Amino acid sequence: MTRVLVTGATGYIGGRLVPQLLQAGHEVTCLVRSEWKLTDVPWRDRVEVVEGDLSNAEALQTAMDGVEVAFYLVHSMRAARDFGEGERHDAESFAAAAASAGVRRIVYLGGLHPSGVALSPHLASRAAVGEVFLASDVPAIVYQAGIVIGSGSASFEMIRHLTEVLPYMPAPRWVRNRVQPIAVRDVLRYLVGAVTIDEDLDRTFDIGGPDVLRYGQMMNGYAVEAGLPQRPIASLPVFTPWLASQWVNLVTPVPRRIAVPIIASLQNDCVVHEHDIDRYIPPPEEGLLTYREAVRLALRREREGEVETSWRGATVPGAPSDPLPSDPDWTGHTVYTDARERRSAASPAAVWSIIESIGGENGWYSSPIAWAARGWIDRVLGGVGMRRGRRHPSRLNTGDVVDVWRVESIDRGRSLRLRAEMRMPGRGWLELGVEPSGEGSLYRQRAVYFPKGLAGRLYWAVLLPFHGIIFGGMIASILQAAERSSGERA
């Protein structure tokens, strides 16, 4: 049994790694910026959680106490100009804390990239983080992986939506570049295996699946597995990474802030140059998953509602990270609310089933045109828009994403609080709740808004006339759906 630290436990890879480490018999500490995001994960009671970020020396020291292996699985999408003051400082602080605590190994997941060429800002920053760890006083295993394929990964979502939406694909020249994708389950296998390697290794390892493909071949490989016709692809020289990211932003749910660095990293061939990791972590007898096997597995997991983590859970820059202050703490704030309640003949359970399944394919039970318009405005402003959907069609957990909202708290069967992550001049929440009332139920709904400056106040004033349509329509439609559901059960 080894005591390990995982940073990025609320992220796509980290959220899947933690249960794998626990299954392997290791003790796990998670360093997270917002502890509430782990409230509903099934393994919460089996790990120690330290709240704090990488710039907090005290939190780092606490998290590193007794740790033998420390995983560094955080990476922002900031521009290269911010790396010196942001990414490098975080990596150096982490390495220094690990050395002070006597950690015997750092494990980092970086990006696969060619040598001797100019890298995109995204790949350059990931490579630089790896160099910080290799130059530190703690031995480091730096994995370099290419496109990760799995249910919920941003790269998989880009391939999926570009292929499904476009019968003909005008594409940048990078669709002809060679890439070596890897299944997320194989990435996790390498990460877990790094804990028990005996040698004091201090080096990089390239990791990738068995297939070397052009990006266009990956799109058509997805089409085959999804039962779609092959897509004609035209390579056009006019698409810059920025222009291509606008195109991706338009036809996929992946926002520009994520699409830009991913696309920029595809400007060069990204293939494995060595397989040295096989000496320390041999491949499974059946071999690593092929690209099409990984796609097939991802599609099956999504159909069965078994997506453990998703790119949708990534923190949105500019969105509030702290929970809504309790009502007594509103003193001193300018607060606008829209509160409504209505009694219903439907049972509390029937109302709750509608509340918990709101958003995504189920919609918002009022003026779909208004919601769609707000989503498009958000996308134009560089926000997440309405197309992030939700991970599971009928169940929510704390930290889950629902379109432009994030689940901030859930008291299952009673109340749900959503925090807005759309672009707006202020901070907003939506609360939905139900409680027994006589032979039926009492439904409560409240929108809460903390405006920022004059723009925030004008924003609320402009939207105020539409509240009756949006929020009034929502309360009526939710209860109608609940009463209809109760009648069908009866």
- Residue 379 belongs to a domain with what CATH number? 3.30.530.20
Q: Are residues 309 and 333 in the same domain?
A: no
* 216 neighbors 171 (Cβ within 8 angstroms): yes
Asked whether the predicted pLDDT for residue 242 surpasses 70, the reply is: no
pLDDT score of 103: 97
The secondary element (H helix, E strand) that includes residue 444 is strand 440-451
For the record, the structure tokens of 470 come out as 């949006």
Could you give the C-alpha distances from 71 to 3, 13, 116, 373, 379, in angstroms and in order?
11, 11, 28, 41, 33
Question: Is 318 inside a domain boundary?
Answer: no
Distance CA 355, CA 485 (A): 13
Asked whether the predicted pLDDT for residue 356 surpasses 70, the reply is: yes
Q: Are residues 340 and 309 in the same domain?
A: no
Q: Are residues 303 and 333 in the same domain?
A: no
Give the 3-state secondary structure of residue 68. Answer: coil
Task: Tell me which of 446 and 114 has the higher pLDDT.
Answer: 446
For the record, the structure tokens of 38 come out as 């782990």
Task: Tell me which of 444 and 332 has the higher pLDDT.
Answer: 444
- In the chain, the amino acid numbered 307 is V
Question: Is 12 inside a domain boundary?
Answer: yes
Question: Is 16 inside a domain boundary?
Answer: yes
Question: Is 455 inside a domain boundary?
Answer: yes
- In the chain, the amino acid numbered 386 is M
User: Which residues does 259 contact at the CB level (< 8 Å), separation at least 6?
Assistant: 158, 245, 248, 249, 252
A 10 A CB-CB count for 202 gives 16
Number of domains in the chain: 2
Bridge partners (DSSP) of residue 45 are none
State the CATH number of the domain containing residue 256.
3.40.50.720
Asked whether the predicted pLDDT for residue 328 surpasses 70, the reply is: no
Mean pLDDT value of segment 240-258: 66
User: Domain ends where: 260, 290, 313?
Assistant: 313
Q: Residue 270 has what DSSP assignment?
A: B
The secondary element (H helix, E strand) that includes residue 435 is strand 426-437
381-439 confidence digits (pLDDT tens): 777 777 677 888 888 988 888 988 989 889 899 999 999 988 889 889 999 999 999 88
Q: Are residues 201 and 248 in the same domain?
A: yes
When pLDDT is cut at 50, 70 and 90, the band that residue 450 belongs to is: confident
Taken in order 67, 70, 76, 80, the sign of the CA dihedral is positive
Q: Are residues 297 and 373 in the same domain?
A: no
User: Which residues does 468 contact at the CB level (< 8 Å), separation at least 6?
Assistant: none
Question: Is 138 inside a domain boundary?
Answer: yes
Domain hosting residue 219, numbered range: 3-313
User: Domain ends where: 313, 335, 369?
Assistant: 313
pLDDT score of 247: 65
Distance CA 298, CA 152 (A): 8
Give the 3-state secondary structure of residue 205. Answer: strand
Q: Are residues 93 and 140 in the same domain?
A: yes
Q: Are residues 266 and 389 in the same domain?
A: no
pLDDT score of 33: 86
pLDDT score of 249: 65
Question: Is 14 inside a domain boundary?
Answer: yes
For the record, the structure tokens of 450 come out as 């903390």
User: Domain ends where: 265, 285, 313?
Assistant: 313
Question: Is 320 inside a domain boundary?
Answer: no
When pLDDT is cut at 50, 70 and 90, the band that residue 320 belongs to is: very low
Q: Are residues 125 and 219 in the same domain?
A: yes
Question: Is 414 inside a domain boundary?
Answer: yes
Task: Tell me which of 386 and 188 has the higher pLDDT.
Answer: 188
Q: Are residues 231 and 353 in the same domain?
A: no
93-150 confidence digits (pLDDT tens): 999 999 999 999 999 999 998 887 878 777 888 899 999 999 999 999 999 998 899 8
Tell me which long-range contacts 160-165 makes (C-beta under 8 A, separation of at least 24): 160/222, 160/226, 160/252, 161/251, 161/252, 161/253, 161/254, 162/219, 162/248, 162/251, 162/252, 163/219, 163/220, 163/222, 163/223, 163/226, 163/228, 163/231, 164/226, 164/228, 165/251, 165/252
Q: Are residues 392 and 448 in the same domain?
A: yes
Q: Are residues 178 and 258 in the same domain?
A: yes
Q: Are residues 141 and 284 in the same domain?
A: yes
pTM, 2 dp:
0.71
